[in-house]
Amino acid sequence: MRPGFGGEYRVSRPREKVYKRCMRVLGIETTCDETAAAVVELKATGGGNILSNVIYSQIAEHAPYGGVVPEIAARAHVEAIDGIVRSAMEQAGLWFNDLDGVAAAAGPGLIGGVMVGLTTGKTLALVADKPFIAVNHLEAHALTARLTDAVEFPYLLLLVSGGHTQLIAVKGVGDYVRLGTTLDDAIGEAFDKVAKMLGLPYPGGPHLERAAVTGDPARFELPRPMHGRPNADFSLSGLKTAVRLTAERAAPLTPGDVADLCASFQGAVVDVIMDRTRAALKMFHAQVGEPCALVVAGGVAANNVIRSGLQRFASGSGLKLVLPPPALCTDNGAMIAWTGIERLRLGMVDDLSFAPRPRWPLDTKAQRSLNGKA
């Protein structure tokens, strides 16, 4: 079958033909530098059971370069994917004829890696004669809270990761309104870049968080970009530049200086997140109504200081805060499998000609940010 280019390739099937029983779906994730596969089972009471969740991290391969190298990532996915899928199926105690569908992340992400997982998922679905679901990686993050906490629609989502920073109204499966996005760096990207300029190891975000524990967040005055703006957009480049200029003035930096800079930067980010989320909540009320919860997803959601700040924000706003376990905030196969379940139960399956997408916005009606990021 000739690969298709563009288009959704969504094929609807009546629910009574698809949603007959407790579903089990294999999910495959290869959009960046984690090769992951998982099997998730739909619970009759809502939410899901994770039967297996196998993740291979490529940190060691990319550490010498201080960041993810797309060509190295794609090659590592090719080498690892078969073993990761086999381990996921063995740990779940199932074989392919026990599945109800196969889901794979089709984007957005590094195109070489996306192609590896997408091709693997299509092949398994074809050979096992199972429905195939092409999953938007961002939608998988968006729906993780329904896997872990059976959250009802609608809810406000804060998606914060190395490549994405967005505030989204989640109205239903496939129904999203982007309320705010970043105009430049994603929050995780800014963490990594600041860590690198301060001489911290890769991956920078966790090392910056650890360094900040002993630092004084009030020592250095740093800006809070976009603070008080009525929209819910982010901008991190100015804050990143302010850290660089402050570090240059304080050079040569002692370990104490680095810790204080990390704490000051992290504190500024927390303030920005709470201010932007406050603006998004007002927009949500005006455009959608009352959210059932504030949900946080993406790798940066594993940061304990950010989690604590959002707890305070949610308590002050009278919102239920849903924070998936840290292991499900970073990229993983379970979120892909769960999104496959969400779509399969609604009859939303895909043709095997579905093409990989380096960019794939959740809200197709939203204008792109200034640099064209999804």
16-48 pLDDT, tens digit per residue, is 344 446 799 999 999 999 999 999 999 887 789
Top mean-pLDDT range of 52-61, 296-305, 331-340:
331-340
Calculate mean pLDDT across residues 345-351: 96
Q: Does domain 10-148+328-350 have CATH number 3.30.420.40?
A: yes
CATH H-level, domain 152-325: superfamily: ATPase, nucleotide binding domain (3.30.420.40)
Is the pLDDT at 150 greater than 70? The verdict is yes
DSSP secondary structure string for all residues of 210-274: HHHTTS-TTSS----TTTT-SS--B--HHHHHHHHHHHHHHPSPPHHHHHHHHHHHHHHHHHHHH
The overall average pLDDT reported for the chain is: 91
What is the pLDDT, as a whole number, of residue 15?
Answer: 36
pLDDT in tens, 169-200: 999 999 999 999 999 999 999 999 999 999 99
Q: What percent of the chain has pLDDT over 70?
A: 92
pLDDT at 14 over 60: no
Domain ranges within the chain, ordered by starting residue: 10-148+328-350, 152-325
pLDDT tier for residue 9 given thresholds of 50, 70 and 90: very low
Task: Tell me what pLDDT residue 371 has.
Answer: 41
Return phi, psi of residue 258, to 5°. Answer: -60, -45
| Whole-number pLDDT of residue 21 | 60
Angle 173-342-35 (CA atoms, 0-180°, nearest 5)?
Answer: 105
Please state, in angstroms and rounded to a whole number, the distance separating the CA atoms of residues 233 and 339.
26
* Distance separating alpha carbons of residues 37 and 54, to the nearest angstrom: 5
Number of Cβ atoms within 10 Å of the Cβ of 209? 20
Q: Residue 261: its pLDDT value, please? A: 98
